[in-house]
Structure 1
Amino acid sequence: MKRTGIAHAELSRQIALLGHTDRIVVADMGLPLPRSLPVVDLALVPGTVGFTPVLDALLDEIVVQGHVMAIESLGGTAGAWLDARDTRLGERQLLSHEEFKAELPHATFAVRTGEATPYANVILECGVPF
């Protein structure tokens, strides 16, 4: 049994398979994810499990060299949270929400949260620890 870190078996497995430049989508409940994209679904009810605890847990486990977010998210809770953690997120790329959704099929997998805040979505690009 793991001593620390993410205990969710499928999420832990997906993280272990990541390589340099692989992309992870952290999504709110409403983001339309492609049917072909593997999804680790953590949503239980609206608000549980939320965007920020999931992103914090992921950032404790992986190296991120950049992130993509929708311009529309800048004024919301997710945008403020991402601004506060810029040092762990690497370079930022801003796209319109429609352009953001067009990037989803290029991700390795997605984590669907129970977040019910509009535009609480981010794509994380993996870096390397060396």
Structure 2
Amino acid sequence: MQKVGILNSHIAKVLADLGHTDKICVGDCGLPVPAGVPKIDLALRFREPLFIEVVKEMAKYMQIEKIYLAPETKEKNPAQWKALQEVFPEDKVEWVLLKDHEELKAWEKDCKAVIRTGEVTPFSNIILQSGVIF
């Protein structure tokens, strides 16, 4: 049995299989998942687990070089935007603002998995791009 790290076996496997530039999406409980993209649904009930808690945990165990966000996150969910800035300082991780939330949803088809959380605030969605550790 694993003693440390992410205990969810599906997430641990996806992280172990990521290569450079592979992407994974973390979103709220209402985020649609394209057909054919593996969905890891963590939602237990509304607000559990929170989006930012899952993102923070992913950031501990994933080498992240870029994050992709919809501008609606900044405009319509400033608290989440601020929390993401604390997790991903812009001098450490490249921030890519997409055209809109619809573009983020279109990018999901290229993700290795979509993790849905119990988050219920709007536009709490992010795509994480894997970096290299050497």
Which secondary structure state, in structure 2, belongs to the residue aligned with residue 101 of structure 1?
helix
How large is the Cα RMSD of the aligned pairs? Answer: 1.4
2:80 equivalent in structure 1 = 78
Greater shift, 95-104 or 63-72, is seen at: 95-104
TM-score by length of 2: 0.91
Q: How many residues end up aligned between the 2 structures?
A: 130
Tell me if structure 1 keeps the 8 A contact 2:24–2:129. Answer: yes
- 1:79 maps to a residue whose letter is W
Which secondary structure state, in structure 1, belongs to the residue aligned with residue 96 of structure 2?
strand
Tell me if structure 2 keeps the 8 A contact 1:78–1:121. Answer: no
Question: Structure 1 regions of 5+ residues with no counterpart?
Answer: none
Q: For 1:17 and 1:5, locate their aligned partners in 2 and report how far apart those are by CA, in whole Å.
A: 15
2:95 equivalent in structure 1 = 92
Q: Give me the identity figure in percent.
A: 35
Alignment of structure 1 residues 91-130 onto 2, 5 Å: 91-95=94-98, 96-130=100-134
Q: For 1:36 and 1:117, locate their aligned partners in 2 and report how far apart those are by CA, in whole Å.
A: 26
Q: For 2:104 and 2:37, locate their aligned partners in 1 and report how far apart those are by CA, in whole Å.
A: 15
Measured after TM superposition, the shift of residue 85 of structure 1 is 2.1
- 2:44 maps to a residue whose letter is L
Q: For 1:93 and 1:5, locate their aligned partners in 2 and report how far apart those are by CA, in whole Å.
A: 27
2:25 equivalent in structure 1 = 25
Q: For 2:133 and 2:125, locate their aligned partners in 1 and report how far apart those are by CA, in whole Å.
A: 24
